Structure 1
Amino acid sequence: MRAPPPCSRLPGLGDGVLARARPIADPDARTARAQVLSHYRRKLGRWPDLDEALRFTELVQRRKLYDHDPRHPQLMDKVAAKALAAEALGREWTIPTLWQGRLLGAEMPFACPAILKARHGCNQNRILRTPPGAAEWAALRQLTCGWVAEPYGQAVAEWGYLHTPRGLLAEPLIGNGVTPPVDYKIYVFGGVATHVQVHLGRGGGNHRWVLHDRSYTPLVDVEDRPPPPRSLGAMLQAAEVLGAGYDFLRIDFYEVDGQPLFGEYCLYPGSGFDRFAEDWIDLELGRLWHAAGEVPVRD
């Protein structure tokens, strides 16, 4: 594993690893704030306090509205993010890209089994275990045109996605080729990995997650007890390399046959609308974010 390159070597970044931008003047800022307040109230049953912002979920809203770091769009770009991870960790940490482009053509440009994703969004993907027929391919072309037609994240003010190049990429389907592999999402505050969130049942009707501390002890008593990945130590170390220089990032990984693989960066977990198992967890993660010393502030 190599040390992360200086920002001057990364395209699109400012001078110095903590280079930040002032919030960009946005004529729709009032609308974005109203959207955030409304969504938060509907999802979590309370109004967010965006001034004190003691909770993690409130700090996510503050980041969306006021933290327009010029590095953020690059992190949200799945193509650029993979290149950043490969540069910092080594190419063996990344999943190969079978194809990337703006739109799908008449002919399928990659082999199956594969997963097709939007490079600029979240939860926009389709698993292709076998080559689709003509009608299925036509429907997929139409679906992905819709993905590319609009920037992702507008409705919930996720600024980083709004400035990410739109397009598609395909990757080989890792794991057993039938179900998606377990997703290990590591919370990193100020360059220190503190929590491991394990997602189970993705792609089915029973998607759930368990949040652990760094030592892989669940924060609350739960029925699901997923075993730790064999490469947990390497994942924690890699997450800290990738998260260095940021107040908070979540870094996602998979494991295949004991080999850890980079998944993606996340700036806005659950868009800040996911309810934690206990309210103290929301407050504790908020405390860690504040302690990291780079809490996004209002201009």
Structure 2
Amino acid sequence: MTKISKLIGRETLNSMMKLFAFIPDKLYLRLMYRVRMGKKLNLEDPKTFNEKLQWLKLYNRKPEYTAMVDKYEAKEYVANKIGEKYIIPTLGVWDSFDEIDFNKLPNQFVLKCTHDSGGLVICRDKNLLDMNTARKKIVKSLKSNFYWVGREWPYKDVKPRIIAEQYIEDSCVRELRDYKIYCFNGKAKFLYLSEGMENHDTARISFVNLDWTPADFRRNDYKEFEKLPKKPEHLDDIIMLAENLAKNQAFIRVDFYEVNNRVYFGELTFFPGSGFTLFASDEDDLRIGQMLDIEL
């Protein structure tokens, strides 16, 4: 985090951003880049990965992106591209929290809001679910428009809804590891592995090369894995599927899980970290940026 972010907190900063809805996207992004990254945003000749993501926010806008980031609509989009077998089953979809009939849900499930990245409730035991806390989190999320936080255009018109998904967990590691494939101009270049993301203190993130060796760049806002876990059995398939979904895209991150020897699609992301990722060094940001040709 920048000094300003550390001082007032990320959640407060995001709330402040929404107050500036009257500011045009380009000016807003220049201001926020200065606040979040502590430097000037170069949109005229972007070089770094973060700069190029900001450029894509402004100049790469296709109507289908709205469905691709909608956590409900994306399931159909992805199923049509790579097959239904990779989709986590949906247990229900609702417009409000009060519409949910929890008696009809299994003992374990996941609630997600379709339009943002914060409305998530993981229920491992329905008898222990704190209903008030879950309600407050979901209701708060439904009232927000994720677009205003980082001006990520695809989210602007996503209909706020709630979906329940089947709970999945790998029986061997008792965890859910996320394999996030970074695709540049249709080709996978690297991925990052994440685990324990419910809690920042326990979360682990490591960038990994496609041959499952540690990449030589990293973020400075999360702890890394001390040692890389075993290579997923279906990594080659995951990379192939990611590239299938990345066709004709300048940049997209495609997320998958491998659970009990099965591959599941997670989500599509056009702007990781909203283009404000704090890498360990400016050189890391620049080297990743060199992988992306935004003019194609």
Range of TM-score over shorter length: 0.7 to 0.9
Q: Which residue of 2 aligns with 1:271?
A: 274
Equivalent residue for 2:114, pick from 92, 113, 119: 119
Question: In the alignment, does 2:176 pair up with 1:181?
Answer: yes
CA distance, structure 1, for counterparts of residue 52 and residue 111 of structure 2: 32
Q: Which residue of 2 aligns with 1:4?
A: none
Question: In the alignment, does 2:76 pair up with 1:76?
Answer: no
Q: Which residue of 1 aligns with 2:5?
A: none
1:37 Cα deviation after fit: 2.5
How big is each residue's C-alpha offset from its partner over 1:43-80, in whole Å with a ceiling of 9 and x where there is no partner? Answer: 32212211111011011111223322212111110111
Q: Which residue of 1 aligns with 2:98?
A: 105
Question: In the alignment, does 2:209 pair up with 1:213?
Answer: yes
1:148 Cα deviation after fit: 1.6
Question: In the alignment, does 2:252 pair up with 1:249?
Answer: yes
How big is each residue's C-alpha offset from its partner over 1:178-202, in whole Å with a ceiling of 9 and x where there is no partner? Answer: 9650110001112111111111331
How big is each residue's C-alpha offset from its partner over 1:200-238, in whole Å with a ceiling of 9 and x where there is no partner? Answer: 331122323111222222222873423321110000000
Q: Which residue of 1 aligns with 2:14?
A: none
1:157 partner letter: R
Q: How does 1:185-200 map to 2 (within 5 A)?
A: 185-200=180-195
Q: RMSD over aligned Cα, in angstroms?
A: 2.4
Gaps of 5+ in 1: 1-26, 295-299
1:36 partner letter: L
Q: Which residue of 2 aligns with 1:60?
A: 53
CA distance, structure 1, for counterparts of residue 77 and residue 286 of structure 2: 31
1:29 Cα deviation after fit: 7.4
* Contact persistence 2:96–2:161 (CA under 8 A): yes
CA distance, structure 2, for counterparts of residue 258 and residue 218 of structure 1: 23
Q: Secondary structure at the match of 1:35?
A: helix
Change (3 A) 1:29 1:57: farther
Q: Percent identity?
A: 28
Gaps of 5+ in 2: 1-19, 218-223
1:39 Cα deviation after fit: 2.9
* Contact persistence 2:119–2:137 (CA under 8 A): no
1:139 Cα deviation after fit: 4.4
CA distance, structure 1, for counterparts of residue 152 and residue 83 of structure 2: 29
CA distance, structure 2, for counterparts of residue 29 and residue 238 of structure 1: 40
Change (3 A) 1:29 1:228: farther
CA distance, structure 1, for counterparts of residue 22 and residue 188 of structure 2: 32
1:89 Cα deviation after fit: 1.4
Higher RCO (CA 8 Å, separation ≥ 6 residues)? 1
CA distance, structure 1, for counterparts of residue 121 and residue 45 of structure 2: 40
Q: Which residue of 2 aligns with 1:14?
A: none
CA distance, structure 2, for counterparts of residue 36 and residue 227 of structure 1: 39
Q: Which residue of 2 aligns with 1:6?
A: none
Q: Which residue of 2 aligns with 1:280?
A: 283
Question: In the alignment, does 2:222 pair up with 1:229?
Answer: no
Q: Which residue of 2 aligns with 1:16?
A: none
